[in-house]
């Protein structure tokens, strides 16, 4: 009798739990500028071992990365395997990005991407990024 009751409790517990659906997200970073752009990805202050340097040649050139997670969506932090990204403009200027900076336009914050629907997100590097960039000294390479 104890086994029957215990078996029923286990069945109810398993039937009452619903597994989470896996979600695939796509993140795109696109150049909106007519200058070469280099994206360098870092994790804990070192170049990311899972994300190579990306070269965007001009307007419309883009990188796409996909990530899968349990729940609603992945984050750029996970998809790009980076906690900071350095944008280098034409080997002359740079802009650093982390989860919180630059405020309102971070490559690592999902809220700063355009939501295209169906798990797709787009960030366009534009004149605002270029205007906020700094002159390279020894930082760019």
| Selected residue with higher pLDDT from 44 and 137 | 44
pLDDT at 12: 44
Nearest to 58 by CA among 87, 40, 93, 34: 34
pLDDT at 20: 61
CATH class for domain 20-135?
A: mainly beta
Tens of pLDDT, residue by residue over 9-66, are 444 444 444 456 777 889 999 999 999 999 999 999 999 998 999 999 999 999 999 9
Would you say 18 and 112 are in contact if contact means Cβ atoms under 8 Å apart?
no
Would you say 138 and 88 are in contact if contact means Cβ atoms under 8 Å apart?
no
Q: Cβ contacts of residue 114 below 8 Å, gap of 6+? A: 121, 122, 123, 124
Tens of pLDDT, residue by residue over 83-133, are 999 999 999 999 999 988 888 889 999 999 999 999 899 999 999 999 999
7: pLDDT strictly greater than 60: no
Residue extents of the structural domains in the chain: 20-135
CA atoms of 89 and 73, how far apart (whole Å): 30
pTM above 0.85, yes or no: no
Q: Are strands 120-125 and 46-47 parallel, antiparallel or unpaired?
A: unpaired
CA atoms of 128 and 104, how far apart (whole Å): 11
71: pLDDT strictly greater than 90: no
CA atoms of 90 and 74, how far apart (whole Å): 31
pLDDT at 2: 52
């Amino acid at each position: 009798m104890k086994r029957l009751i215990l078996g029923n409790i286990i069945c109810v517990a398993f039937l009452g739990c619903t597994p989470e659906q896996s979600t695939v997200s796509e993140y795109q970073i696109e150049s909106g500028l007519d200058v070469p752009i280099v994206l360098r990805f870092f994790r804990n202050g070192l170049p990311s071992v899972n994300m190579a340097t990306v070269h965007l040649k001009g307007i419309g050139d883009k990188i796409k990365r996909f990530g899968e997670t349990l729940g609603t969506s992945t984050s750029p932090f996970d998809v790009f395997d980076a906690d900071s990204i350095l944008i280098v403009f034409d080997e002359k200027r740079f802009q650093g990005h982390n989860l919180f900076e630059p405020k309102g336009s971070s490559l690592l914050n999902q809220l700063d991407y355009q939501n295209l629907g169906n798990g797709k997100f787009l960030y366009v590097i534009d004149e605002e990024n270029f205007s906020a960039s700094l002159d390279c000294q020894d930082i760019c390479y």
